[in-house]
Structure 1
């Protein structure tokens, strides 16, 4: 318990249970091939475990340079409709895609953040962003947002980085599964097509 400025006792904030969240994420990853379901579960787990306002996962579209939203929890539809996130207009994401965590203390005023006015209206303040990497190549980013000035600690960064790695693994596995399935169907169609030809 702690006391506020009026002398009233306040309950201490609950402890962050990163081990439990990691365990839950690992169970989800191993029990489902539905990528959207897995990624949504991961961003919810991150938001709850880190006690932040929101979490979002964006994947890089190499052809357009856009960071496409793949999973999100805690952000309003109005904020999500603010416009596309382009790497060329977002030094914040560009920096993370180079392979290192990026922290912004106040996105309402930091020039690296693309939509400062929208962030202000949404009540966003601090943001931590880590890359999603597959075989050393960044394929997207994972962000967490707070509604107050927040100084993220090393365990926060490590936790988010581990979950981002698990999400990247799930994405890679889903892509491999889809590729194998398509190849199988292609082979079978060609085989049966040959068999029934006159």
Structure 2
């Protein structure tokens, strides 16, 4: 096993550990790009999620990229390496001259040359992409593609688990609020008033509950 392969295994373990312990979405979204960047020794990485209307891509976790680049504006799904949203792995050797790239001048200013874009899938549906950026021209190897695909799959599962947990918490909070409202509404009913009065009498001196 090569040193690179060992680094990938360590990174996958790190990603899995982070995703298993992290419960906040921001933490999950940030840990993935950082682990990928350090394992591959690249310029940076970005986790980009597809908007609910599937028209734009939103940078939701990045590492190694400037705030100016990340905040450059929304990425149009149909103009920003759109093949990845069809479930295909896309490699860009030179982002400055490739027509599939949106904002090529900004990528040049950021020092980005080659790009690997891997779809994030959840039960067959594309929910976003993981993108890897290099400063020099780089032909991504099969091992590198497999590694990023594995990370993307782990990330998609983790995000779904977080959403499920948030839904359960929201439902629980709503149920608890409804129970409180029900108890409040019942406090003025004759049966409730009788119960409160009976309970009070049990503890009065000389009452049935006194000794």
- Decide which moves more: 39-48 or 155-164: 39-48
Q: Secondary structure at the match of 2:75?
A: coil
Which residue, out of 27, 50, 57, partners 1:67? 57
What is the root-mean-square deviation of aligned Cα atoms in Å? Answer: 1.3
Residue 46 (structure 1) shift: 0.2
Residue 87 (structure 1) shift: 0.7
Structure 2 partner of 1:105: 93
Structure 2: distance between partners of 1:35 and 1:195: 35
Structure 1 partner of 2:146: 158
Structure showing greater radius of gyration is 2
Structure 1 partner of 2:199: none
- Decide which moves more: 79-88 or 172-181: 79-88
Indicate yes or no: 2:114 matched with 1:126. yes
Structure 1 partner of 2:77: 87
Residue 81 (structure 1) shift: 2.4
- Decide which moves more: 58-67 or 39-48: 58-67
Tell whether the 8 Å contact from 1:35 to 1:170 is kept in structure 2 after alignment: no
Mapping of residues 143-182 of structure 1, within 5 Å: 143-182=131-170
Runs of 4+ in structure 1 off by over 4 angstroms are: none
Which residue, out of 40, 44, 52, partners 1:50? 40
After superposition, what is the alpha-carbon deviation per residue over 1:31-82, rounded to whole angstroms, capped at 9, x for unaligned? 1212211221111110010111000001111226111111000011121222
Q: Secondary structure at the match of 2:130?
A: strand
Tell whether the 8 Å contact from 1:128 to 1:143 is kept in structure 2 after alignment: yes
Structure 1: distance between partners of 2:71 and 2:49: 17
Residue 113 (structure 1) shift: 0.4
TM-score, scaled to structure 2: 0.83
After superposition, what is the alpha-carbon deviation per residue over 1:107-139, rounded to whole angstroms, capped at 9, x for unaligned? 111110001000011111000010111111010
